[in-house]
Structure 1
Amino acid sequence: MAIFEKSLQTKIQIDDTERLECVLENSQNINNHTEYILRVQRGQNKENRWTVSRRYRDFAALHVSLQQANINLPIPPKKFIGNMQPSFVAERQTALQNYINEVLKHQVLSLSLQVRSFLDPSNYLSISDYNGIYVLLKKLVIGFNMLLEQALQTISIALRGDGQFELKSALPDIGWRIRKHYFLVNELESQMNCLLSWQSYGPDCILHSKDLQIAFKSLQNISHPYIDKILSIHTLETGAYIVRNIHENGSIRDLLYGTEYNKNYLAKYGNPKVRKPFTNGQISHYGYQILQALKFLHEKGLCHGHLHPGNITIENQRVLLLDIENFLMGVPSLYRPFLLELKRTSNAEAIDVYCFGQTLYEMSFGMPLKTYYCDVYPDGIPHDLESVLRLCLSSTASKHSGPTLEQLLQHPFFTHSSPNGLTPTCDTRAHLKFPLNIKDQLKTAVNVMEERLRIGQKMVRNAKKEVRIQEILNSEEEMKKQKRRVKRRESVWKSNSSLADVSMASSPSPPSPPTPPVPAAPAAPALAAPVALSSADTSRGALLSAICSFDKSRLARVASR
């Protein structure tokens, strides 16, 4: 590398949706306090492992930062006296393991910056040296402020060159993405408040900066009744910013949980007190519009890939899809951990169908599905709605290819159900056109995304196989079987050794020299002959009887290689 050559990272290589697994391996006493050694693994790759040392006060600080989610977490209480005793340290280590397991069980918590920086500080905190003097809560605040400050500086410089919008203030983390920040801007011409979002490029972004800007211009000119309009979109070196109108009603998820769009993500969706599921008519009506928008994108060579209730809004009884640019930016999907568990869901259309099923489930029951498939539904659910959910989310659909968008549009739930007067008046003409060279690159981007998903699914399957094999080898039943096999083999060897001893003992002795003839009565030779024969046949008879009495059932079956 040349001396004056700049080394700038334009794409984030880390997938922020990869699951983290944490095991408290050990504890050690350092400077009159106890530190717990945490072994953390990201994803299924065993090379992505590292260790982190944390004190109890670090766990307590993490617990304080997560309280806004209103989720009951079982953190052990603090103890001032006797907290260095080995028995108490072992007991607390078990309690902290249960605590971190409960935290990682909730997706809304495991994807947060607080948990990620707690377990993976090298990738989620831009602080080089802590010197052991900051409490973890201060580290989190400093790290978040640094990320927000970097985004604020980037947006300020970009908007000065644009001259169309003026930056007013930063909004809290209203979305789940760690590397996405929201700002309130003012359009200079109309003096209207708008929402600006800044997003870094993800691991699946392969388009060059110029080609990406051309594709963004096509997206800005999109026209569809069920896709939200983009006011402005521009690419920068490390990411892109998008300006949209503010939807005061919020997203579908905000409507489901009765909250406002500009509140913190954890506070809104951690453990909402209000849950307002949609009616059967609303689900049918809005679901049909979502399918129409998805079908239009696929016809134009583009997929959504990030559909969930948080990026769908409703205005004038009409759905509007948001964040359609996420696919071009290569960022991971919210449902990617669930997609990795599926077997045949790897193409772009199948991904959108699965995400549509997850969205429909949350709209129906007012809560997200916590597993990657669902076969049991509450009583009273309409038969047509249950049929649609099973087509998208059943265990059978997860093992085989699910339905297509066209097949879902032809389902009776969307064709025969009455919209109950919810039909909007739409005069918007659908339009989206990409240049020919951009179309080819979009196909390549789709292939890259699908291939990375297939690789991840294969790694998950291999990891499950290893776990099953390890469980079989370590199971008690298998240990008992192995002991039985050893006993059988020992009995076989004993029987074989006893048979050899018998054969050696009963082996025929060398013949003795013949005795000289003795004159006797005529009957004497007849009596001497049987005596000579019996001594010769005794050894032969013993060998034959040992062979005949051998029991083949006592032999153990040994699988030949």
Structure 2
Amino acid sequence: MAIFEKTPQTKAILDDTEKLVCTIANAQNINKHTEYILRVHRGVSKEDKWNVSHRYRDFAALHGALQAARRDLPLPPKKLLGNMHPSFIAERQIALQNYINEVLKHTILALSLNVRCFLDPSNYPANLTEQALQTVSIALRGEGRYELKGPLPEIGWRIRKHYFMVTDTESHANCLLCWQSYGPDRHLCDKDLQTAFKCLQNLSHPHIDQILAIHNLETGAYVVRKVHETGTLRDMIYGTEYSKSYLSKYGNPKTRKPLTDGQIAHYGLQLLQALKFLHDKGLPHGHIHPGNIAIENQKVLLLDIENTLLGVANVHRPYIREHRKTSSAEAIDVYSFGRTLYEMALAETLEEPYCDIFPCNMSNDLVSVLRLCLSSSSCKHGMPTIESLLRHPLFSRPLVMGNGVHSDGATSLRVPSQLKEEIKMAVAVMEARLKAEQKLVRGAKREVRIQEILGSEEEMRKQKRRAKKRESVWKSTSSLAETVRSQSVSTASSPTPPHHTSDAPACTNGSSSTSASSAPLASPVAAGGTQQTKVTNEAPATNGRSALLSAICSFDKTRLSRINSE
């Protein structure tokens, strides 16, 4: 690289695979209609967030655009009357939040241009296709060999990749042109990129598709290949046509045709041979999935080998960020290879970063390969190498050794030593960015766990406080009940005061009637008044009553002995 030569700054710095999280924070009435404030957050960075407002009709328009995927999405119905009432707006806000959560749950919808334009209109303008068409038209005028026929629908998942049908003016054959903007991992200068493209155009391998033309421009590059009428391996699995839009083909496919174990071993071996060849030349693929593989005459043709040089992100990057050891270029290819075999075997994509449980009807050899590539243990502690996978029993059985699998076709890829070093440095920078993102993801998970622990500890403290409060209330209630019980017992054990009859004479000794009628007087009369009792017993029966009353009235309370109540 020259000293004053710089990589152009017009490349797209956004990673289109970054996960978006949306929360409907509020709603406001503006000009007799309701607008909902959406708070959007990108990736794991806390600072990368913004607000965007949408009306209900914007949600309805998004829903209409996503109908091609044939997904059952819970958009709340439109209401003509009473739609400005606060209670209705609150209910609709909850319903729209559920709707956007369901949309973002499906990766194929979350990565679509319609959803990105809806949530991030500043970075994803709706006229990306028109810009690409204008750029390609100008570029082909200077090239002269290919004539532009027209754009194709969005047949791929990439937002900044556009497809056009062109005609070769020399052979008059239809060809497929792909225009791709540069990604955040493009680190080669223009001169090195041109040299690398020339090397790719001269590449020869029986399991790598030929590049007819490839040119780099200021904002991206275009590649011309022949049209594969049967489509890609993914089209074969889901029984679709290559020219249909990506959402309609793979959003919710009705037809699913999983491959047999023999086909998986056959195609898997060819794919490993192509990957081994590229890694030996110092050029990792980095983008293995069924959409980048064509099948012709039972032979694998690997596509999009230029993606690493263009610096675009892997479709599996959201899952790779969850891993600790899947950060090297070879480990990424091995992990992507495992996910490709999984989709070939089950005719469905793996929606989780790991897979430890497989169907019982799978062969042991296939399960062994999938565990090596996709199990949580392998993803956390280290992936196998491509060389070790080539020696696996699944790819070394006699079933896959024939039919021209080990083709003797010429293989060649000449890369200058200086360019090889530049590519190696670019791959190292890409791996460093991935490791940094993986570290951020681990930090975010750790923070979530800490918050959960703190939340649980706070909840435990609250429960302890509630338990102490209940215990104090119980103790106070128990003491009050004991007090009431003791008072009732003491009241019940007290002697009954004597009953005064109406014919009793008044006391004449000067003491009050209250003292005469108090309960403690009965006992001293019986104990201290022994003499009076004898007199009463000796007196005639007619005078006994008068004598008793006289003794009571003449009773002297000073004769009572003091008793310590304590």
TM above 0.5 = yes
Map 1:106-121 onto structure 2 (within 5 A). Answer: 106-121=106-121
2:394 pairs with one of 413, 423, 436: 413
Map 1:66-465 onto structure 2 (within 5 A). Answer: 66-125=66-125, 143=126, 146-416=127-397, 418-419=399-400, 422-424=403-405, 426-465=407-446
What is the CA-CA distance between 1:421 and the residue it aligns to?
6.0
**1:63-119, Cα deviation, whole Å (9 max, x unpaired):** 000001111101111111111222221111111111101100111100000000000
- The question of whether the paired residues in 2 share the 8 Å contact of 1:169 and 1:184 is answered with yes
Report the number of matched residues: 464
**1:162-200, Cα deviation, whole Å (9 max, x unpaired):** 121111111111111111111111111111111000001
- The question of whether the paired residues in 2 share the 8 Å contact of 1:22 and 1:38 is answered with yes
**1:434-486, Cα deviation, whole Å (9 max, x unpaired):** 112101101101101100100110111111111111122223x6422466389
2:459 pairs with one of 479, 492, 501: 479
**1:111-152, Cα deviation, whole Å (9 max, x unpaired):** 000000000011011xxxxxxxxxxxxxxxxx2xx3222212
Distance 1:188 1:442 in 2: 34
Q: Which moved more, 1:398-407 or 1:82-91?
A: 82-91
Q: How many percent of aligned residue pairs carry the same amino acid?
A: 63
- The question of whether the paired residues in 2 share the 8 Å contact of 1:302 and 1:442 is answered with yes
Distance 2:79 2:466 in 1: 52
What's the counterpart of residue 51 of structure 1? 51
What's the counterpart of residue 37 of structure 1? 37
**1:468-512, Cα deviation, whole Å (9 max, x unpaired):** 11122223x642246638999xx9xxxxxxxxxxxxxxxxxxxxx
Distance 2:463 2:357 in 1: 42
Give 3-state SS (helix, strand or coil) of 1:290's partner: helix
Change over 3 Å in CA distance of 1:435–1:395 after alignment to 2: same
Q: Pick the structure with greater CA Rg.
A: 2
What's the counterpart of residue 11 of structure 1? 11
Distance 1:9 1:182 in 2: 24
Letter in 2 for 1:77: P
**1:215-265, Cα deviation, whole Å (9 max, x unpaired):** 000000001111000001011111101000111110000000000111101
Letter in 2 for 1:404: T
Which consecutive unaligned segments of at least 5 residues does structure 2 have?
A: 1-6, 472-566
Change over 3 Å in CA distance of 1:76–1:422 after alignment to 2: farther
- The question of whether the paired residues in 2 share the 8 Å contact of 1:317 and 1:423 is answered with no
Distance 1:338 1:175 in 2: 19
Give 3-state SS (helix, strand or coil) of 1:46's partner: coil
- The question of whether the paired residues in 2 share the 8 Å contact of 1:340 and 1:453 is answered with yes
Change over 3 Å in CA distance of 1:417–1:54 after alignment to 2: farther
Give 3-state SS (helix, strand or coil) of 1:428's partner: coil
- The question of whether the paired residues in 2 share the 8 Å contact of 1:316 and 1:424 is answered with no
Distance 1:259 1:326 in 2: 24
Give 3-state SS (helix, strand or coil) of 1:390's partner: helix
- The question of whether the paired residues in 2 share the 8 Å contact of 1:37 and 1:53 is answered with yes
- The question of whether the paired residues in 2 share the 8 Å contact of 1:10 and 1:239 is answered with no
What is the CA-CA distance between 1:351 and the residue it aligns to?
0.4
Change over 3 Å in CA distance of 1:64–1:101 after alignment to 2: same
Letter in 2 for 1:467: V
- The question of whether the paired residues in 2 share the 8 Å contact of 1:250 and 1:313 is answered with yes
Q: TM-score, normalised by structure 2?
A: 0.80
Q: TM-score, normalised by structure 1?
A: 0.80
**1:312-342, Cα deviation, whole Å (9 max, x unpaired):** 0011111000000000000001000000001
Distance 1:350 1:427 in 2: 27
- The question of whether the paired residues in 1 share the 8 Å contact of 2:266 and 2:405 is answered with no
Distance 1:20 1:217 in 2: 37
- The question of whether the paired residues in 2 share the 8 Å contact of 1:374 and 1:394 is answered with yes
Distance 1:487 1:281 in 2: 65
Distance 2:50 2:455 in 1: 26
**1:264-308, Cα deviation, whole Å (9 max, x unpaired):** 010001000000011100000100110111111110011000110
Distance 2:246 2:313 in 1: 18
What's the counterpart of residue 506 of structure 1? none
Give 3-state SS (helix, strand or coil) of 2:84's partner: coil
Give 3-state SS (helix, strand or coil) of 2:37's partner: strand
Distance 1:94 1:232 in 2: 51
Distance 1:234 1:321 in 2: 19
Which consecutive unaligned segments of at least 5 residues does structure 1 have?
A: 1-6, 126-142, 492-561
Give 3-state SS (helix, strand or coil) of 2:287's partner: coil
What is the CA-CA distance between 1:365 and the residue it aligns to?
0.3
Change over 3 Å in CA distance of 1:425–1:444 after alignment to 2: closer
Distance 1:418 1:186 in 2: 40
Distance 1:340 1:417 in 2: 38
- The question of whether the paired residues in 2 share the 8 Å contact of 1:234 and 1:240 is answered with yes
Alpha-carbon RMSD across the aligned residues, in angstroms, is 1.9
- The question of whether the paired residues in 1 share the 8 Å contact of 2:71 and 2:251 is answered with yes
Give 3-state SS (helix, strand or coil) of 1:310's partner: helix
Letter in 2 for 1:13: I
Give 3-state SS (helix, strand or coil) of 1:363's partner: helix
4+ residue runs over 3 A deviation: 420-427, 481-488
